[in-house]
Structure 1
Amino acid sequence: MRVTFWGVRGSIASPGPATVRYGGNTTCIEIRTDNNELLILDAGTGLFPLSQSLLSEMPVTANILITHSHWDHIQGLPFFIPNFIPGNTLRLHGGFDPVTGKGIEQVMAVQMQYSFFPVREEEMKARLEYITLTPNIPHRIGSATITPCLLNHPVIDFGYRIDCNGKSVFFTGDHEPPYNIYPCDDRGYGEYQTFVDDRNAAIHDAMRNVDVLIADCSYTTAEYPSKRGWGHGTFASSIACAKAANAKILFCTHHEPLRSDAALEQVFQEALIESSSLCNGLDVQLAREGLTYEF
């Protein structure tokens, strides 16, 4: 399998000289199976440069797996160039939204309302298909098995495990490890802690023994208290998660948009020192636009 990062920033695109090394595009990751099947994890602004790279291999069938519907994970969809070319197929996968009562088709329908985008969905030349997935129910795409896992974010949010020919990748999308909402002296604390422990154990099981874990590492441990409940993890929480799941390599992503490349490298090194006891046997790297990892 081959993993290529096209967007690694979180929340909002942040181009400029301060982010040129790691990139300013929002979340988009290309996965190629050993059979060269194309899977795409999220459709942030990084989807646009990815789509440009696909022009040399038309026609394409692109399977896009949407973790959740926040803007920084779907902004690139209207600008996915193959959508405008006959003969291509886009299959958009994602979860059911209990608030609207609609499936993943809503993501395209809302973005491409004529008030917001000058091309209607009906005018696109490619074949568009929508596949609504169910948590923990495997879904086959060619030679790959995709298993969605419900994670913790302010909207319905899937992590995705991809298994193919004995190799595996897990992508968290945006994820804050579940925590106890009760004070430790509250009578509800013990019961809720059981729920938290069970949820974290289920998430670790979904990631178990993956070759590659790509995880939300938005914040430092010091920053986290003021961001609690926003639905994002820390370097330390993701390293601990990777260790608990026995992952081989962890790529830290969803970089804070206000953090320059230099600042990102500094907090990353500090996080490695902070979690040094867990890093033995675990390869931890910063995700970077243009980085390809093949295994």
Structure 2
Amino acid sequence: MKFKFWGVRGSIPTPGPQTIKYGGNTTCIEIRTDRNELIILDAGTGIHALAQTLLRDMPITAHIFITHTHWDHIQGLPFFLPIFFKNNRINLYGGQDPVTDENINRALSAQLQYSYFPIHEAQLKARIDYLTVRPGETVCVGSARITPIILNHPVLNFGYRVDCDGSSLFFTGDFESQINIYQPEDDDYASYRSFLLEKHQEIVAAMQDVDALIVDSSYTDEEYAIRLGWGHGTYRSGIQLATEANAKRLFLTHHEPTRTDADLDLIHRDLLEQHPQFADKLFIAREGLEVCL
């Protein structure tokens, strides 16, 4: 199994001279099994560049797993060119939102409304199937097994573990570790603390011993202090997860929009100095980076 980053930016695309090295497209990861089955994690603007490489191989079957439906994780769907050609098959996976009761089909159909896009959904030529994933229920795609787990974010959000060909990876999507909403003197503080610990242990178990852990690490600790509750992780929380889960390699992604290439280079150097045990297994995700597991 191998994977490749096509988009590593969070919140909004950031093209320009300051983001050439790491890239300015929003989240998209391509996975290929040893049998060349195509799995795609999220459909940010990076999926458009991926689509260009698929046109020569049509007809194709693509399995697109959406972590959540915030714009930066779905905004590339209408520009995924294989949807415009018949004989292609697109399987789009995602959750059923408990608040809106809507399924993943909303992610594409809403963007193809008259007010937002010039092409109507009825004009798509590919066969598009919408499939609902549920926490803990494994989905099989050829030789790959994809298992979703709910992770904390201000909308229904899945992390996905992919096991295939004797290798494994875990992608968090957007993820902020939950904090105790009660004060130590409150009656519910202890019980909620126990709940959070149980949930944390469940998350670490889902990531356990993966060959690659890809985590949302948008903020420094200083930035996070004024962004509490925005739904994103830190460099420190990513390293902590990798340590607890015994991940073989850690890839930090979902780069904050104002983060330049120079900023990310400096952060990488600082992290390696602070955590020398990660010298050969901590990476800043960048567009075009391909990893064979």
TM class, shorter-length: over 0.9
- For the pair 1:77 / 2:77, whether they are aligned, the reply is yes
Partner of 1:39: 39
| Pair 282,155 (structure 1): closer, same or farther in 2 beyond 3 Å | farther
Which one-letter code corresponds to 1:32 in the other structure? Answer: R
Q: Which residue of 2 aligns with 1:233?
A: 233
Runs of 4+ deviating beyond 6 Å: none
Q: Is 112-121 or 17-26 further displaced after alignment? A: 112-121
Q: Identity, % of aligned pairs?
A: 54
2:65 matched residue in structure 1: 65
Partner secondary structure for residue 196 of structure 1: helix
- Residue 160 (structure 2) pairs with residue 160 (structure 1): yes
Alignment of 1:1-295 (within 5 A): 1-274=1-274, 276=275, 279-280=277-278, 283-295=281-293
Aligned amino acid, residue 171 of structure 1: F
Question: One-letter code of the match for 1:198?
Answer: E
Q: Which moved more, 1:183-192 or 1:236-245?
A: 183-192
Cα deviation, residue 47, structure 1: 0.5
Q: Give, in angstroms, the shift of residue 99 of structure 1.
A: 1.7
Q: Which moved more, 1:175-184 or 1:51-60?
A: 175-184
- Once the two structures are TM-superposed, the CA of residue 91 in structure 1 deviates from its matched residue by 0.5
Matched to 1:255, the amino acid is H
CA shift, 1:118, in A, is 0.9
CA drift at 1:282: 6.7
CA contact (8 A) 1:250 1:282 kept: no
Residue 58 of structure 1 aligns to which amino acid in structure 2? Answer: M
- Post-superposition Cα deviations, 1:222-258, rounded to whole Å, max 9, x if no partner, equal 2111111011000110110011111100100000110
CA distance in 2, matches of 1:69, 1:263: 28
**Cα offset for 1:139?**
0.9
Instruction: After TM superposition, give the deviation of residue 153 of structure 1 in Å.
Output: 0.2
Q: Is the 8 A contact 1:220 1:271 kept in 2?
A: no
Amino acid at match of 1:289: E
- Provide structure 1 residue ranges, at least 5 long, that are not aligned to the other structure: none
Q: Quick one: distance in 2 between partners of 1:10 and 1:206?
A: 23
1:143-175 Cα deviation digits (max 9, x unpaired): 111100100000000000011122111000000
CA distance, structure 2, for counterparts of residue 122 and residue 271 of structure 1: 49
* Partner Cα separation in structure 2 for residue 156 and residue 232 of structure 1: 14
Deviation string for 1:77-122 (max 9, x for gaps)? Answer: 0000101111111110011111221211111121111111111111
SS in 2 for 1:62: strand
Q: Look up the SS of the partner of 2:226 in the other structure.
A: helix
Q: 1: CA distance between counterparts of 2:212 and 2:253?
A: 13
The 3 A distance-change label for structure 1 pair 32 and 88 is same
| Aligned equivalents of 1:203, 1:282: Cα separation in 2 | 24
Amino acid at match of 2:292: E
8 Å CA contact 1:235–1:268 kept in 2: the answer is no
**Could you say what secondary structure the match of 1:21 adopts?**
coil
Q: Secondary structure at the match of 1:111?
A: coil
Stretch of structure 1 that moved more, 4-13 or 97-106 = 97-106
For the 8 Å contact 1:248–1:282, the answer to whether it is kept is: no
Query: Alignment partner of 1:222: what SS?
Result: helix
What is the number of residues matched between the two proteins?
293
